[in-house]
Structure 1
Amino acid sequence: MINSNEKTTAYLWSKTKRFSLIGNDKEHGNLERSWVDLEKGMILLKNYVSVSDQVEIVNTCQKFGMGPGGFYEPLTRNGRTMNFQMMCFGRNWDPITRYDWKHRSDGSEAPPIPNQLMSLAVNLLLEGQDMHLPLMDPDICIVKFYTTTFEELSLRQDLDESRSSLEGGLPVVSITVGDSAKFVYSYTGDVGHAKEVLLQSGDVLIFGGESRLIHHGIKKIIPESAPLSLLQQTNLVPGSLNLTFKDYSLD
C-alpha cells in the first residue's frame, strides 16, 4: 500500500511503462581482458565479464524489467524526465526519494538481487583486491539503460549510502553491457577538467577507498558499438546497460 505522503509526491514519478531490452541485432567485435589503474582506489577491468555472463545479465534484467518494479523513466525534483530507463534490485533507490521509500509510486518493491548477479559482483570485487579496497557485501544493484541519444555534461557523487559505507570507502562496482559509454570523472567536480575513459561491453569499473566520493557521470553512448556475439544471442536494443552494485551498510 502507498501511504498518504507517497501519494502527495507521486506526481513527481513518471508513469511506469513496460520497457523491453530486446530488439534487432547489429555487428561488432570483442576486446581482450586487461587491467587499467585509473587512480588510487579506482580501476578499470577491461572485458572481464564474458559474453555468456553478459547474455545472462541481459536476460535477467529483461525478465525482471518487464515485471512489477521493472524499468521506468525517473524524474528530477523539478519534474524533468531523465533520459534513461531504471530499475533496482535489493533496495529501492530513486533520484528524488533516494533510499527513503521502500515502495515505488506504483506500490512495487525492489526484487532481491538475483544469485547469479550477486555472485558475479563478488567475484569481480575479489579481482580488485590488489588495490587493498575494503570488501563489501552488495545489497543494492541499480540498473540503468541509456539509449544512444543520451548526453549529459554534469557530474555527481554517490552520497546516498549510509555514513559507515561512505566513511569506510566501500567500493562501487559498475558493469557495462551493450554499446560503449564515455565515462567522465573528476575529484573536484569541474566538468571542464574531467578525465574521460571509454567503457565497453564487458568492462567493469571499481572505485572505492580514496576514490569513493569521486565526481562522475556518463557523458555519451557510442551507437553500434556493442559486440556482435552479444546482440546475436540477446537482440539487445541499441544503448548501454549499466549495473551498479553498492553496500548501503546500515549504521
Structure 2
Amino acid sequence: MTEITVNGVRVLPGFLDEGEQRALVEDLRAVVAAAPLFHPVTARGKSMSVRLTSAGDYGWVSDRRGYRYEARHPQGMPWPPIPERALRVWHQVSGVGRAPQCCLVNFYSDTARMGMHQDRDEADFDMPVVSISLGDEALFRVGGVVRGGPTKSVWLRSGDVAILSGEARLAFHGIDRVKAGSSTLLPKRGRINLTMRVVD
C-alpha cells in the first residue's frame, strides 16, 4: 500500500481488504436499521442528492436552520454506537488519542454528488477527519483552504481511507461523480462514505 497525497489530504489506497469491507457493510446495515437514512435539506430548502445517517454521540444534520450536530436523529431516536471496525480504522490512522464522537454515513446513488465544502462544524480543527470509502469508485476533488483555488482529483476506490489533518484539515473537498457499477461490494450498486470526527 503506497500512500498518496492530494493537496495535503492523505489517501491510503486499499487500506481495508474485501473481507473487512464486507464486514463493515454488515455493521452499517445495523446502523441504518436503528437510524434510517434521510435526505438532508440545505438552509435554502434544497434537498441534497446524498442520503445520510450517523452513529456515535452526535449526528450531523442539515435543514432550514443550517448545518449542525445533534444528539438525536431527526425522527427522534438516539444515534447507534459507532461500529468497532470503523473505530479500529480511526485508531490506526488518525494519530490522535481522542475517539471520534460522530461517524457520518453518506450513501451515494449513481447520480449523487457532493459540492466543494469545508468540514468546519467541529470545535477543534486539530482533530482530523477520517474517511472510509465503500462500494463504487468516486472522483474526489480537493482544493485549498480558500474557496476557488486550484484543485486536484483522485479516484477513491472501495477500501480506501482518506485523512484530512494538519494544514489540509480545512481543505475544500467534494465528490464530482460516482462510477456506477465499478464495485460489486453493494448488491444494488452505489457508494458509502464514512467520515469520523471529534465534535466538541
Q: TM-score, normalised by structure 1?
A: 0.72
- In 1, the alpha carbon distance for the partners of 2:178 and 2:62 equals 21
- In 1, the alpha carbon distance for the partners of 2:33 and 2:100 equals 23
Query: Are residues 1:111 and 2:80 paired?
Result: yes
Q: 200-209 vs 87-96, which deviates more?
A: 87-96
One-letter amino acid of the structure 2 residue matched with residue 86 of structure 1:
L
Q: Partner of 2:189 in structure 1?
A: 238
Q: Is the 8 A contact 1:176 1:199 kept in 2?
A: yes
| Higher strand content, 1 or 2 | 2
- Structure with greater Cα Rg: 1
Change in 2 beyond 3 A, CA 1:102/1:149: same
**Paired positions, count:** 196
Q: Partner of 2:3 in structure 1?
A: 35
Q: Partner of 2:36 in structure 1?
A: 70
- In 1, the alpha carbon distance for the partners of 2:134 and 2:69 equals 29
Q: Render the CA deviation track for 1:195-232: whole Å, top value 9, x for unaligned.
A: 11110111111111111110111111011111x4x35x
Q: Partner of 1:225 in structure 2?
A: 182
Cα displacement (A) at 1:100: 4.9
| Higher helix content, 1 or 2 | 1
One-letter amino acid of the structure 2 residue matched with residue 151 of structure 1:
R
Q: Is the 8 A contact 2:6 2:154 kept in 1?
A: no
Q: Partner of 1:171 in structure 2?
A: 128
Residue 82 (structure 1) aligned to one of 48, 57, 71:
48
Cα displacement (A) at 1:80: 1.7
1:71 partner SS: coil
2:26 partner SS: helix
Q: Render the CA deviation track for 1:224-244: whole Å, top value 9, x for unaligned.
A: 111x4x35xxx2x21110000
Query: Are residues 1:160 and 2:127 paired?
Result: no
Q: Render the CA deviation track for 1:62-104: whole Å, top value 9, x for unaligned.
A: 122133x221111112222111110101112112354453223
Change in 2 beyond 3 A, CA 1:85/1:100: closer
Structure 1 gap ranges (5+): 1-32
Q: Render the CA deviation track for 1:30-80: whole Å, top value 9, x for unaligned.
A: xxx32113344x21100011111110111111122133x221111112222
Q: Is the 8 A contact 1:174 1:242 kept in 2?
A: yes
Q: Partner of 2:16 in structure 1?
A: 49
Q: Partner of 1:148 in structure 2?
A: 110
% identity of equivalent residues = 28
2:100 partner SS: coil
One-letter amino acid of the structure 2 residue matched with residue 189 of structure 1:
R
Q: Is the 8 A contact 2:50 2:113 kept in 1?
A: no
Q: 206-215 vs 92-101, which deviates more?
A: 92-101
1:105 partner SS: coil
